[in-house]
Amino acid sequence: MARASSAISASGVRCASSGSGNLAELVAQLSAGLGPGPFQHIVAYFSTDYDAEALVAALASAFPDVPVSGCSTAGAITPGGMLDDGVLLIAFPVAGFAVHSGIVEDVSEFGVERATDLARRLKSRIVPEEAVRRKPAFAIMLVDGTSQTEETIVAAVHWAIEHVPLIGGSAGDGLTFRGAVVVHEGRVLTDAAVLLLIETDIPFRVFKTQNFEPTPIKLVVTAADTERRIVKELNAEPAAREYASAIGLLPDDLGPFSFASYPLVVKVGGNYYCRSIRKMNEDGSLSFFCAIDEGLVFTVARPQDMLRSTEEALDAIGDEIGGIDLVIGFDCVLRRLDAENRQIRHQMEDLYQRYGVVGFHTYGEQFNAMHLNQTLTGIAFGKRASQTR
């Protein structure tokens, strides 16, 4: 039997995962892990080893009349640890939650307009006309991480939902970068985004945490293909060669682990944010996970203690909400690679299990109006009953 795991939170949210390569066995393990329900909405995170259409059809058969949303990933964070190849389901119960969802298609061409319209429609469902106090709500967005549209989509949605906090992640396909998919109510789509607006009486906080510090080394983008997020030159030199020189490596030594260990950051409003490198191209240019532009000034950064910074962030959130019951997280795949490179993957798994973190490894993270890299963003649910707001 392939490794399977499950968990039930105090709020009633249930999680189940399986790494089985046999579809029938996979769905049986997931169904047993979630239990009988009833469920209002299921979110599915899955590796691209599975045929997405077949997987979605099997889930629809196993959970009739339950909407399923989700996306492909670069790995899952499950109750049993990190799962490189497998499926994680997060099931919201009927009691205590109200889930409103929709899909934005053709995000690379019509994303801003369609995302704004969808966000407004969903928001209208949580703001009734009658003068009653609505439940607190948050938004989750899952967007095709190979569409290269996250910045504009996140900004449009955040603007439309205003005060509703937003978190999410960019769908991936392992580390192949050939094509990710999102799922919504039986449909499997590329170049699309799923938006969930979720009301709940459970206390919650959205958060982000990162673990790097800037160095004095600066790299200026002097030539770029901004539409494709490709940097051709840094400091008027071939990009890969200049970056490798800055971190003390040869260009041939560059790869996902070096990109994870030596992130590039930009300063915005007094704070530093990662603009992570996706891959080195054959012509010596560098492809990025985030939007870039000529004239942008990168600072080479070095990671700090990931275990300590993550634990401190989760402890602080727990203090605010009376202890953490469950965290739905969006963790950059480069954080996982950095943890593996520094041989602390198992310690990170233990930390995530201790705080009830589940979610997936992303091609980028969403936090309110921003698209980020090399961070952990998430929604943490508290253990105590929600107070009237």
Q: Are residues 244 and 255 in the same domain?
A: yes
Q: Are residues 188 and 283 in the same domain?
A: no
Q: Are residues 173 and 248 in the same domain?
A: no
Q: Are residues 19 and 32 in the same domain?
A: yes
Domain count within the chain: 2
Mean pLDDT, the chain, as a whole number? 92
**Residue 80 zone, left/alpha/beta (φ > 0; ψ -120 to 50; rest):** alpha
Residue range 10-23: average pLDDT?
95
Q: Are residues 294 and 336 in the same domain?
A: no
Q: 303, 331, 361: which is the final residue of a domain?
A: 303
In this model, does residue 302 exceed pLDDT 50? yes
The pLDDT value recorded for residue 176 is 84
The pLDDT value recorded for residue 139 is 97
The pLDDT value recorded for residue 130 is 47
pLDDT band at residue 9, thresholds of 50, 70 and 90?
A: very high
User: Is the distance from CB of 149 to CB of 111 less than 8 angstroms?
Assistant: yes
Q: Are residues 250 and 269 in the same domain?
A: yes
The 3 state secondary structure assigned to 56-124 is HHHHHHHCCCCCEEEEECCCEEECCEEECCCEEEEEEECCCEEEEEEEEECHHHHHHHHHHHHHHHHHH
In this model, does residue 273 exceed pLDDT 90? no
Return the residue matching tokens 């961070």: 375
The pLDDT value recorded for residue 128 is 59
> How buried is 378 (Cβ within 10 angstroms: 0-12 exposed, 13-18 middle, 19+ buried)?
buried
Q: Are residues 16 and 85 in the same domain?
A: yes
Q: Are residues 50 and 168 in the same domain?
A: yes
First-to-last alpha carbon distance for the chain, in angstroms, is 47
Give residue-wise pLDDT tens across range 211-254.
888 999 999 999 999 999 999 999 999 999 999 999 999 999 99
3-class DSSP assignment, residue 368: coil
Q: Are residues 38 and 159 in the same domain?
A: yes
Q: Are residues 319 and 204 in the same domain?
A: yes
Q: What are the DSSP calls for 142-174, one per residue?
A: EEETTSS-HHHHHHHHHHHHTTS-EEEEEE--T
Domain containing residue 242:
212-303
Q: Are residues 225 and 205 in the same domain?
A: no
The pLDDT value recorded for residue 267 is 87
The pLDDT value recorded for residue 134 is 60
Q: Are residues 243 and 352 in the same domain?
A: no
Q: Which residues pair with 81 in a beta bridge?
A: 78
Give residue-wise pLDDT tens across range 74-92.
999 999 999 999 999 999 9
pLDDT band at residue 146, thresholds of 50, 70 and 90?
A: confident
